[in-house]
Structure 1
Amino acid sequence: MIGHDAVLADLSLEISAADLPQVQSAAARLGGGARVHVTALTTETHADRVATASELVTHGLTPVPHLAARRIASAEALESMVRDLAHAAAAESVFVIGGDPRTPAGTFDSALSVIETGVLARHGVREAGIGGYPEGHPDIPDDVLWDALARKAAALADQGIAGSITTQVSFDAPAVLAWIARVREHGIMLPIRVGVPGPMGVARLLAFARRMGIASTAGLARKYGAQLGGMLGTAGPDDFLDALFGGLDTGVHGEASTHLYTFGGLGATLDWIGAR
């Protein structure tokens, strides 16, 4: 097993507003300054996310609220959202994504369109994360993804905002390593946070994997290295992370760290961190 320091250095993880009651206990277990993303779920409001981000600040954590471009109704709404985060001392770091709706709610159709407004810089955003897709995107051609990644990185640099890339979940460590190498070949040197699911039940992991296009148990076992001893068992990211960090070469891959998606629950992910 790759050492604790390598896998958990500069760790970030993701919660939703539903996890607000657990923020205090999470802070005690994570330590000061840990980066915690607040995802933009359709079942939660912007006010919910601001309240959660504010609570993270109160307990010494670094909130990274998500801005989902296609769900933002107008330029005025975007301005108001970032202003609200700034008033809550929660706007230094954000994560900008396109979002799920095929039809945008307003004028923003991509993360780039949000970044290019200059709203982030005007309200004191110092670091902005953008998304990466190691195994591609089902609705976006690869050449479009690469062009968008380069343009987003350049737009952030032009505005003096530090950037980083957080990847969507992959279950294939060699594919992630190859993708990171291609990012560097494209001249994009932003730090990369590799997204992996925290521990969860096997049945839930399989259901999630199918939504990601991995249709069979055998395929998941091969790609993720999960220990699938039965549908009532659990699976964790250890094998994947050991393969990932065992294959990282800083000369080729540059700066990379771990981002944990808490699909199996915040408590289970925190337990895993503590045991690692």
Structure 2
Amino acid sequence: MTRSADPTTSVDDIVRNSSIEIIPLKGAQEKAAAVPAETTVTMTCSPKFGLSRTLDHVAAARRSGHRVVPHLAARMVDDRRALRDFVRRVTDLGVDELFVVGGDGEEPVGRFREAAEILEELGEFDHGLSRLGIGCYPEGHPKIADDMLFEALLRKQQHADYMVSQLCFDASALAGWLRSARDRGVTLPLRIGVAAPLQIRKLIELSVKIGVGRSVRFLSKQHGLVGNLLLGRAYEPMELLLALGEEMSFADFSVEGLHLFSFNQVDATLDWLFRAGGAEEAG
């Protein structure tokens, strides 16, 4: 379950309050079922598979006893009726939280182009959801200017309850962005988006693909990366979290937990969480 930050929030606290992102690909239902029931699963959506695939995997995860947060991409919603139908179907499954994003599609399938429009529409009816999350971009967006991103974030926070940061490997960049966001009036609690353990070569490929090239360039400068890359070793996020803990107070900046981008490497993610004290050992 998600919970709010408190004055004693530490690296251990935010690790214990982790959610694991899963992509609804083949085999993802079994991967979600392996996650301990007390750890929240978030289920993505994409133009390639459509909202029906997301709903199928949300239903399967609920059947296996998990708390699930579906992602909803604005550009994948046809119209107001489709939005209400999606919300009705997830709440019927016992879902009480939704993560709203703009989406990666070049062209929207219907009237919605950005997350703010979905959030505003959700405010027009009794949706039954108790918590709404949105994304944020500590290292910017390849297609949107930083000032526009902050303006959009301020608009969206009127309807949202928390934000999740895009994948980042640079503690100083993330801490600096969060200070700037707080100074600009962004008050939403933050769930830090970090890469779960993954082979460094694959992590670099995926990170470039999802548009966080600037952070990858930072990662590429780190001592020992080339040697680890050649040896096929995996990236782990603890060094980043410890560095963040030195840069800022998690409590003072309302950091409530982690959002682990697993890239469906769920076994490795659970192993790291167990070693870091954030989950029970997987059965």
TM class by shorter chain equals 0.7 to 0.9
Number of the residue aligned with 1:268? 268
Q: Which runs of 5+ in 1 are unaligned?
A: 157-162
Q: Which runs of 5+ in 2 are unaligned?
A: 1-8, 277-283
2:74–2:113 contact (8 Å) kept in structure 1: yes
Match of 1:15 among 11, 22, 26: 22
The number of equivalent residue pairs is 263
TM-score by length of 2: 0.84
Number of the residue aligned with 1:50? 55
How far the C-alpha of 1:22 sits from its partner, in A, is 2.3
Match of 1:84 among 57, 70, 89: 89
Q: Structure 1 120/224 Cα, relative in aligned 2: closer, same or farther at 3 Å? A: farther
Runs (4+) off by over 3 Å: 214-217, 221-228
Q: Is the counterpart of residue 25 in structure 1 residue 34 in structure 2?
A: yes
> For residues 25-68 of structure 1, what are the alpha-carbon distances to aligned partners after superposition, in whole Å with 9 as ceiling and x for unaligned?
212xxx42x22110013333423322322333334432110110
2:139–2:215 contact (8 Å) kept in structure 1: no
Which gives a bigger RCO, structure 1 or 2 (Cα 8 Å, sep 6+)? 2
2:72–2:101 contact (8 Å) kept in structure 1: yes
Separation (CA, whole Å) in 2 of partners of 1:230 and 1:220: 12
1:67–1:96 contact (8 Å) kept in structure 2: yes
How far the C-alpha of 1:253 sits from its partner, in A, is 1.6
Q: Structure 1 86/38 Cα, relative in aligned 2: closer, same or farther at 3 Å? A: same
Q: Structure 1 241/249 Cα, relative in aligned 2: closer, same or farther at 3 Å? A: same
Q: Counting helix residues as a fraction of each chain, which structure ranks higher? A: 1
Q: Structure 1 136/228 Cα, relative in aligned 2: closer, same or farther at 3 Å? A: farther
Which amino acid counterpart does residue 249 of structure 1 have in structure 2? S
Identical positions, percent? 29
Q: Which one is further off, 116-125 or 265-274?
A: 116-125
How far the C-alpha of 1:256 sits from its partner, in A, is 3.6
Separation (CA, whole Å) in 1 of partners of 2:215 and 2:172: 19
Separation (CA, whole Å) in 2 of partners of 1:186 and 1:126: 26
Number of the residue aligned with 2:132? 128
Q: 3-state DSSP class of the match of 2:141? A: coil
How far the C-alpha of 1:24 sits from its partner, in A, is 2.6
Number of the residue aligned with 1:176? 174
What does 1:101-120 align with in structure 2 at a 5 Å threshold? Answer: 101-118=105-122
Q: What value does the CA root-mean-square deviation take over the aligned residues?
A: 2.5
Number of the residue aligned with 1:201? 199
TM-score by length of 1: 0.86
Number of the residue aligned with 2:184? 186
1:173–1:223 contact (8 Å) kept in structure 2: no
